Amino acid sequence: MLAFLWNLGAFIVALGILITAHEFGHFYIARRCGVRVLRFSIGFGKAIWRHVDKDGTEYVVAMIPLGGYVKMLDERVEDVPPELQGESFNRKSVWARMAIVAAGPIANFIFAIIALYLMYLIGVPAVKPVIDSTTANSPAAVISLQQPQQIVAVSGQQVRTWEDVNLALVSHIGEQQLSLTLSPVSDLQEPSDTNGKTYALDIRQWHFDPDKESPISALGLHIYRPEIIPTLAEVVSGGAADKAGLKVGDTLVAIDGGLISSWDAFVQQVKASAGKTLNLTIKRNGEQQILPVTPDSHLDTDGHTVGYVGISPVVPQWPENMQIELHYGPLESLSMAAQKTWQLTAISAKMLGKLFTGDVSLKSLSGPISIAQGAGNTASFGLVYFLGFLALISVNLGIINLMPLPVLDGGHLMYCVIEAITRKPVSDRIQEIGFRFGAALLLVLMSIALFNDFARL
């Protein structure tokens, strides 16, 4: 319940910030263009707070935080007194109306830059993208590794973190080939690919389910991780390990008489032993003892029954030369934020196009539940991660609103462009048909996104 409330609260905060930024774009440019704004509303339904300024604009915060709107004076919607007709939206030039409509999505991109600017100014700790092996018979199997190597570029695009790698890989879905440039792990903050070796990967058969694996693992890349020391950092109260008498600080030595070679090997053996008693040899206060443990049973994401004992190990420290902090000065942070926003915009637009061509599955669509989980998770990690999340969602919100669907800003822009070319407005009948079509298509996409959300729960 606490996790649900935390995710819900983070979702409402994130959505409120993004909607306010979007609607403020419309509001600000409308006023600059001489249009009278009647209401600036964040949310729908019954107002829980309202204020009217000296210009007569009503500011509202409503109960349903799933959108917002800016209501402007418009003769097509209601009767307007003759003395106010000059302040009507419909009386403005087509170029002014285009500016007002486009200002919302543009505000989302500007907000993304601001959020990323603050993120880089504060500083973001990250891990360098280092791999230590590849999977046989995978696209990455052509890579030969004698020691851990850092990925410094994907198809010529420089990458510094696993997030960069992930975004770059995703942008190649549906293509035939990509290249990875690898280099020895460097102590420098900025990687250099001048001495790196580039591998061409055939990705024609590269497919993956985003709910079950990442593009990194699906490609056959094994992320380098420090070796886990099997000393217990947590024992879940009431779990199988707790009932067997295991305690925080115990070190696992053997399982059924066989030495534990790695934490992963131990986990796999436990998973395969649901309901079966295992004899765990542990070291406590310098002395060894054997404790019988019977793993509980639960279902994994594939619906298979696996064993679970309820313990977690001490988290190992990453080597210093594999850590990086994305921290820049005021001017450089602005440059980095603008570059990152452009990268996110290009990748998001590319992925949206591939969604309609079929290269990307509709299963990848996410709705409010997934967004709420993402908001809660990033907020729990800290402010800088939450800012990065806000920037990503803001960019996607801007791109979606620019889609040429009449129910969205992009549809209104499309009508304005047609009017600018033909020198006459699109008829109300055509606009109404377009609105119904756009609303129906948007409803279908939202339904698919919600279905995907519930399927992931």
Q: Where are the alpha helices (DSSP H) in 280-405?
A: 330-357, 368-381, 383-401
Q: Is residue 253 part of a domain?
A: yes
The whole domain housing 239 covers 232-313
Alpha-carbon separation of residue 349 from 279, 329, 345, 399, 400 (angstroms): 54, 30, 6, 7, 9
Alpha-carbon separation of residue 426 from 247, 273, 434 (angstroms): 73, 68, 11
Regarding whether 309 and 248 lie in a shared domain, the answer is yes
Last residue of a domain, which of 292, 326, 360? 326
Q: What is the CATH number of the domain that holds 253?
A: 2.30.42.10
Q: Is residue 355 part of a domain?
A: no
Q: What is the pLDDT of residues 199-250, one digit of tens each?
A: 999 988 887 776 677 888 889 999 998 888 888 889 999 988 899 898 999 9
Regarding whether 245 and 143 lie in a shared domain, the answer is no
Examine the residue annotation and report whether 432 is marked as an active-site residue of this protein: no
Regarding whether 295 and 185 lie in a shared domain, the answer is no
Last residue of a domain, which of 294, 326, 358? 326
Regarding whether 265 and 154 lie in a shared domain, the answer is no
Q: Are 232 and 314 in contact (CB under 8 A)?
A: yes
Q: Is residue 218 part of a domain?
A: yes
Measured CA to CA, the distance from residue 182 to residue 377 in angstroms comes to 31
Q: Is residue 342 part of a domain?
A: no
Q: How many domains does the chain have?
A: 2
Query: What pTM was estimated for this model as a whole?
Result: 0.81
Regarding whether 278 and 155 lie in a shared domain, the answer is no
Regarding whether 176 and 158 lie in a shared domain, the answer is yes
Its sign, for the CA torsion 372, 163, 314, 239, is positive
Regarding whether 287 and 222 lie in a shared domain, the answer is no
Alpha-carbon separation of residue 152 from 128, 130, 173, 196, 342 (angstroms): 9, 9, 20, 8, 20
Q: Is residue 280 part of a domain?
A: yes
Long-range contacts of 161-166 (CB under 8 A, 24+ apart): 161/126, 161/127, 161/128, 161/129, 161/324, 161/326, 162/126, 162/127, 162/129, 162/216, 162/223, 163/126, 164/129, 165/129, 165/216, 166/214, 166/215, 166/216
457 residues of the chain, pLDDT tens digit each: 666 777 777 888 888 899 999 999 999 999 999 999 999 999 888 889 999 998 889 999 998 887 889 999 998 888 888 888 888 998 899 999 999 999 999 999 999 999 999 999 999 888 899 999 898 888 999 998 888 899 999 998 889 888 889 888 888 888 889 999 999 887 655 655 556 889 999 988 887 776 677 888 889 999 998 888 888 889 999 988 899 898 999 999 998 888 888 888 888 888 988 889 999 998 998 889 999 999 988 877 667 788 888 999 988 888 888 888 889 999 999 999 999 999 999 888 888 887 777 666 666 666 666 666 666 667 677 888 899 999 989 999 999 899 888 888 998 899 899 988 998 888 878 888 888 887 787 787 777 767 766 665 5
Regarding whether 298 and 245 lie in a shared domain, the answer is yes
Regarding whether 220 and 131 lie in a shared domain, the answer is yes
Q: Is residue 54 part of a domain?
A: no
Q: Is residue 180 part of a domain?
A: yes
Regarding whether 321 and 174 lie in a shared domain, the answer is yes
Last residue of a domain, which of 297, 326, 355? 326
Regarding whether 252 and 148 lie in a shared domain, the answer is no
Please identify which of the residues 23, 75, 87, 419 carries the catalytic annotation: 23
Regarding whether 188 and 262 lie in a shared domain, the answer is no
Q: Is residue 13 part of a domain?
A: no
